[in-house]
Chains A and B, each alone.
Chain A
Amino acid sequence: MKTEQEIVLETKDLNFYYGKKLAVKNITMQFPKNMVIALIGPSGCGKTTLLRCFNRMHDLYKGIKYEGEVLFHNENILTKETDATQLREQIGMVFQKPTPFPMSISENIAYGLSLKGIKNKTEQKDRIEKALKEAALWDEVHDRLDKNANGLSGGQQQRLVIARALAVEPSVILFDEPTSALDPISTSKIEELISELKSTVSIIIVTHNMQQAARISDKTAFLYLGELIEYNITDKIFTNPDNELTERYVTGRFG
């Protein structure tokens, strides 16, 4: 691993509150470009909450507060001047359960494109094909692009959602437990895909599945009760962690 890595996303003393509850405590960490970074920890440790700070998803709800900084390409995105809408075009997100829109496969992808201002039909068509190929879905759906996306299997739907995120060419994609609702075969396809995607985008993935983190991530962060306990190269975290709490968690003794 090179030590001098380009940093795509960085938090500095980040605190996040739901009402009065401090859910993310004083987190400072860096996310290098073109890597898969896994956030692990027991339920309620704040890993998903942290993830949702990066695309300002919390803004949709009332009574929330950010403190500190989140730097995206060295620019703080927690300021009032940040347009969350534009930010989300550059930082995509994939959710726990597949979220295909109630429209056809191609329209699902075209929707994101037209949000970005790409409305030319030919260009859309090319981009749709490219995104579906990148998401390893093209071969399965190329002959039924105008069919409703709800007809796809769970794993296909999740890959469609990934294709939809890829189509708008974000620099980061956030994955929030993307395989927790999928069967093992679909899961391994998604994992394979994530490993391939890191050449084009940076990936941050929340997972409750430690084997998954060990398989696909380059670096892993262990969070507990809203705090960052340990953040290091994945191999190190799983074989020889510095912190005792981390060791107990990754060896399955709590969590």
Chain B
Amino acid sequence: MKNKKRNQKNTSNAVFKFLTFFASSLTIVIIISMIISLFYQSIPAIQKFGFVDFIFTREWSFNKDIYGAFRPLSGTILTSIGALLLAIPIALGIAIFITEICPAFLRNIISSAIELLAAIPSIIYGMWGLFTLAPLIEGTVQKAVSSTIGLLPVIGPMFQSEYAGGVSIFTASIVLSIMVIPFIAAIARDTFTQTPDILKESAYGLGATKWEVVRYIVLPYSKTGVQSGIIIAAGRALGETMAIAYVIGNRHGPLNSIFDPYTTITSVLANEFNEAVGTQLSTLFLLAFILFIANFITLAIAKIYSRRGLSNEL
């Protein structure tokens, strides 16, 4: 009788353990299935274009049935870099403000408000970017820049655009930067607050100003955390879809100016996947596969680099 009870207990624990293991292994199963199925769907495109040629082909033509990754890939990289260049200083500024300057009673409120930026769905950023921000940029920043810097020799044309509407790689970078600011700011804030007070106090004791404490104590101390936060944000930026799809303009033409519409991997997918067949569909799968791998590697680097706890994206 006693043994029977014991066996039942052991069996139910074994069953439960297996169930939990099965559920957690789904994470691996999903990732492996993604790699296999996306790659499998990409095979016709790889066979037709060759992987390396595909990366450097600029053409994207339905009539000739030739599709190259160069423009979407470069668009993805450029918008992400542009977004990070804008977002990093602002996000670090926000983190410095919250941890070092902000009065205690406001700290939570401002922190939460900045975090809410991350909760707004990306399609909302897209609509706002298309209907509100793009015309605004066209009428202000773009106009001002093209009538000043745009008149300079050599670099001038990079700030002139023949396209109207304000949708451009510049606008896309702005929208994207607003979307990644809360991620970098939250991670920077968390790592800043982990700086031991004793270090900061001894620097103040030596007569350092607040900025000097941040510059020579807080920033070096939280370097790893902040850097990995930036890499995570880069991963986010690479894969952002709906906001970009609205404001990038989806144009497979040469990029001559920061105010030209262009394309990214995600916006090509969002715009063309549903109607695509044959080689084009396979090409889109190949783009998705490339994005998946790029994103995966970026985030893996960030995770291995930092070995952080609970990810701040949650």
Judge: A and B partners, yes or no.
yes
What is the 8 Å Cβ interface bit string for chain B, positions 2-19, against chain A (1 contact, 0 not)? 100110010000000000
Chain A residues within an 8 Å CB radius of B5: 117
Would you mind naming 7 contact pairs between A and B with Cβ atoms under 8 Å apart? A83-B2, A83-B6, A85-B6, A85-B9, A86-B2, A86-B6, A117-B5
Chain B residues within an 8 Å CB radius of A85: 6, 9
Chain A residues within an 8 Å CB radius of B9: 85
Chain B residues bordering chain A, tally (CB within 8 A): 4
* Cα(A105)–Cα(B9), bound, Å: 26
Chain A residues bordering chain B, tally (CB within 8 A): 4
Chain B residues within an 8 Å CB radius of A86: 2, 6
| Nearest B residue to A83, CB-CB | B6
* Cα(A117)–Cα(B9), bound, Å: 12
Interface residues, chain B, with chain A CB atoms under 8 Å away = 2, 5-6, 9
What is the 8 Å Cβ interface bit string for chain A, positions 69-101, against chain B (1 contact, 0 not)? 000000000000001011000000000000000
* Cα(A86)–Cα(B9), bound, Å: 11
| Nearest A residue to B13, CB-CB | A85
In whole Å, how far is B2's beta carbon from the nearest beta carbon of chain A? 7
* Cα(A85)–Cα(B9), bound, Å: 9
In whole Å, how far is A172's beta carbon from the nearest beta carbon of chain B? 19
In whole Å, how far is A141's beta carbon from the nearest beta carbon of chain B? 31
Sorted from nearest, which 4 A-B pairs have the closest CB atoms?
A: A83-B6, A85-B9, A86-B6, A86-B2
In whole Å, how far is A60's beta carbon from the nearest beta carbon of chain B? 13
In whole Å, how far is A119's beta carbon from the nearest beta carbon of chain B? 14
Chain A residues within an 8 Å CB radius of B6: 83, 85-86
What is the 8 Å Cβ interface bit string for chain A, positions 104-145, against chain B (1 contact, 0 not)? 000000000000010000000000000000000000000000
* Cα(A99)–Cα(B5), bound, Å: 27
In whole Å, how far is B247's beta carbon from the nearest beta carbon of chain A? 48
Chain B residues within an 8 Å CB radius of A83: 2, 6
In whole Å, how far is A67's beta carbon from the nearest beta carbon of chain B? 25
* Cα(A86)–Cα(B1), bound, Å: 13
In whole Å, how far is B7's beta carbon from the nearest beta carbon of chain A? 10
* Cα(A83)–Cα(B9), bound, Å: 11
* Cα(A128)–Cα(B6), bound, Å: 25
* Cα(A85)–Cα(B5), bound, Å: 11
In whole Å, how far is A249's beta carbon from the nearest beta carbon of chain B? 36
In whole Å, how far is A118's beta carbon from the nearest beta carbon of chain B? 13
What is the 8 Å Cβ interface bit string for chain A, positions 44-67, against chain B (1 contact, 0 not)? 000000000000000000000000
In whole Å, how far is B259's beta carbon from the nearest beta carbon of chain A? 58
* Cα(A117)–Cα(B5), bound, Å: 10
| Nearest B residue to A81, CB-CB | B3
* Cα(A117)–Cα(B2), bound, Å: 12
* Cα(A117)–Cα(B4), bound, Å: 13
* Cα(A86)–Cα(B6), bound, Å: 8
In whole Å, how far is A117's beta carbon from the nearest beta carbon of chain B? 8
* Cα(A4)–Cα(B168), bound, Å: 95
In whole Å, how far is A87's beta carbon from the nearest beta carbon of chain B? 11
